[in-house]
Copies of this chain bind each other. A is one copy, B any other.
Amino acid sequence: MERLPGFRDFYPEPLPHSDVWSADVRNYLFDKWRNTARAFGFREYDGPPLEPLDLYTLKSGEEIVGQLYNFIDKGNRAVALRPEMTPTLARLVGAHERHYKKPVKWFSIPQLFRYERQQKGRLREHFQFNADLLGETDPAADAELIALLISLLQACGLTPSDFVIRLSSRNAWHDYFARSSADPAREYEFYQVIDKLERATPDESEAKLAALGLSLDAVRHFIEAGQPTPELSTIIQDLSARGLAEFVKIDYNVIRGLAYYTGPVFEAFDRQGQFRAIAGGGRYDHLVGLITGGKVQLPAAGFGLGDVVLTEIITQRRLLPKLEARLDAFCLIEDESIRRDSLRLIHELRQAGCAVDFPLAPLKSDKQFKRALDSHAAYTLRLERSTHGEISVRIKNLRTREENVASPAEVLPLLRLP
């Protein structure tokens, strides 16, 4: 029985198999993300992984259905596994908008699903950190999000030599398009050409731009000039004040594929260009209005940071700490007559928060000790009963090999020593 293609199993520690992912690594990332987001004053939310199909077609049109895990449920509803979080967020905020002071700063770590045509290494699910800031039009909001993104990547050990934020704006391209004599109805079509510029051949791009009455040379010149719009200047000044200027550059190649972006957009890439985008986002001032049928209008911006590319990068850069099973103590039970007393002590230590394991069934002494070593226990404990019936505990530090003898009540403070 195999798992589905494009889906991942998460084993505890990293295993020596390229197709095996680690729940310990995932928790390591999630902890870094949560702590960083909370330091920025963002609060966590979540929604259902299954949503009405309409929530996505409303925003992205029917063409998205080809990439979804969608089906008809037993109640005859058209439903889909969530391919992104922003529509769910817009629904949540829209439903209880008045309860929240603005700006709303929220994050989430949803698992997202896309039925992409199977390619080597391409997954059909990933976890994505999402941060969104609603209710603030000032570019300071965009800067706050970009600063958070930089800090999330720094928290995972990445430096300015590892990654860069490519900053752009739909407004710059909107103005460019408006200045041309092209058909205003075809603006989004133009954005799609820009979005594919780096992946398409020059001939393809040239032909598509010509069909819009535009020239590839002029587009390239505009990109190379890289004149920041006023809002982008403000964002860069803000990030400079925070000491983050070296992480950001203007790059009008970035425009983001999705239709709903309305202002500054950005993507994070590794400097060497070996990997796909690490993260991306931007401003979407009309989406909450669209999702709530016009009931709630809230300007907003946000970004998503996936776990797959980031894990690949920090693994390649050897930035992951050693994540392994670790116990505070392994209790050896070499004499079954001492098992009940051992169980009592083990349970007390666990109640106090220590990680303690022991042999559930009788086991040879040397095998017990090997299990203590295999489980990376800091100490072994061994209970002994004196001829007077008193219990003492022999505590061995497995790193220093130092031994102590103590009463059961004295064990806990000894384990807590560094």
Hey, which chain B residues are within 8 Å of A9, CB to CB? 45-48, 88, 91-92, 95
Which residues of A260-307 are within 8 A (CB) of B?
291-293
Minimum C-beta distance from A103 to chain B (A)? 6
Tell yes or no: A221 within 8 A of B by CB. Answer: no
Hey, which chain B residues are within 8 Å of A193, CB to CB? none
- Interface digits, A2-33 against B, CB 8 Å rule (1 contact, 0 not)? 11110111111101010010011011000000
B51 lies within 8 A of A375 (CB): no
Q: How many copies does the complex hold?
A: 2
- The SS class assigned to the A binding surface is mixed
Q: How far apart are the CA atoms of A23 and B51 in the complex, in Å? A: 18
**CB nearest to A74 among chain B residues:** B115
Q: Which of A140-148, A198-206, A211-219 contacts B (4 or more CB under 8 A)?
A: A140-148
- Interface digits, A39-50 against B, CB 8 Å rule (1 contact, 0 not)? 111011111111
A50 lies within 8 A of B113 (CB): yes
B10 lies within 8 A of A46 (CB): yes
Hey, which chain B residues are within 8 Å of A41, CB to CB? 327, 355-357, 375
Q: Which of A52-60, A314-322, A400-408 contacts B (4 or more CB under 8 A)?
A: A52-60
Q: How far apart are the CA atoms of A13 and B43 in the complex, in Å? A: 9
A360 lies within 8 A of B140 (CB): yes
Q: Which of A163-171, A241-249, A391-399 contacts B (4 or more CB under 8 A)?
A: A241-249
Tell yes or no: A79 within 8 A of B by CB. Answer: yes
Minimum C-beta distance from A253 to chain B (A)? 28
Hey, which chain B residues are within 8 Å of A86, CB to CB? none
Contact of A51 among B4, B49, B244, B346 (CB under 8 A): B4
Minimum C-beta distance from A113 to chain B (A)? 7
Minimum C-beta distance from A304 to chain B (A)? 18
Minimum C-beta distance from A243 to chain B (A)? 6
**CB nearest to A150 among chain B residues:** B347
A339 lies within 8 A of B241 (CB): yes
Interface centre among A36, A91, A95, A144 (most CB of B within 10 A): A95
Hey, which chain B residues are within 8 Å of A347, CB to CB? 147, 242-244
Tell yes or no: A374 within 8 A of B by CB. Answer: yes
B292 lies within 8 A of A1 (CB): yes
Contact of A50 among B46, B51, B69, B151 (CB under 8 A): B69
B49 lies within 8 A of A111 (CB): yes
A350 lies within 8 A of B49 (CB): no
B39 lies within 8 A of A371 (CB): no
Hey, which chain B residues are within 8 Å of A48, CB to CB? 3-4, 7-9, 125
A344 lies within 8 A of B111 (CB): no
Hey, which chain B residues are within 8 Å of A327, CB to CB? 41
Minimum C-beta distance from A71 to chain B (A)? 4
Hey, which chain B residues are within 8 Å of A121, CB to CB? none
B355 lies within 8 A of A38 (CB): yes
Given the known A-B contacts A11-B45, A241-B340, A361-B138, are A350 and B39 also in contact in the complex, defined by CB atoms under 8 Å? yes
Tell yes or no: A81 within 8 A of B by CB. Answer: yes
Given the known A-B contacts A96-B20, A355-B39, are A360 and B4 also in contact in the complex, defined by CB atoms under 8 Å? no
Query: Could you jot down 19 A-B contacts, CB within 8 Å?
Result: A4-B52, A4-B79, A9-B46, A9-B95, A11-B92, A12-B43, A15-B96, A23-B46, A39-B350, A39-B355, A40-B350, A50-B125, A133-B360, A136-B361, A138-B360, A140-B361, A151-B350, A237-B340, A242-B343
Q: Besides the contacts A1-B52, A23-B43, A74-B115, what 6 more A-B pairs have beta carbons closer than 8 Å? A: A2-B52, A41-B357, A101-B371, A147-B347, A242-B343, A242-B346
What is the interface of chain A, defined by CB distance below 8 A to chain B? Answer: 1-5, 7-13, 15, 17, 20, 23-24, 26-27, 35-36, 38-41, 43-52, 54-55, 58, 69, 71-75, 77, 79, 81, 88, 91-92, 95-96, 99, 101, 103, 105-106, 108, 111, 113, 115, 118, 125, 133, 136, 138, 140-141, 144, 147, 151, 154, 237-238, 241-244, 291-293, 325, 327, 339-341, 343-344, 346-347, 350-351, 353-357, 360-361, 371, 374-375
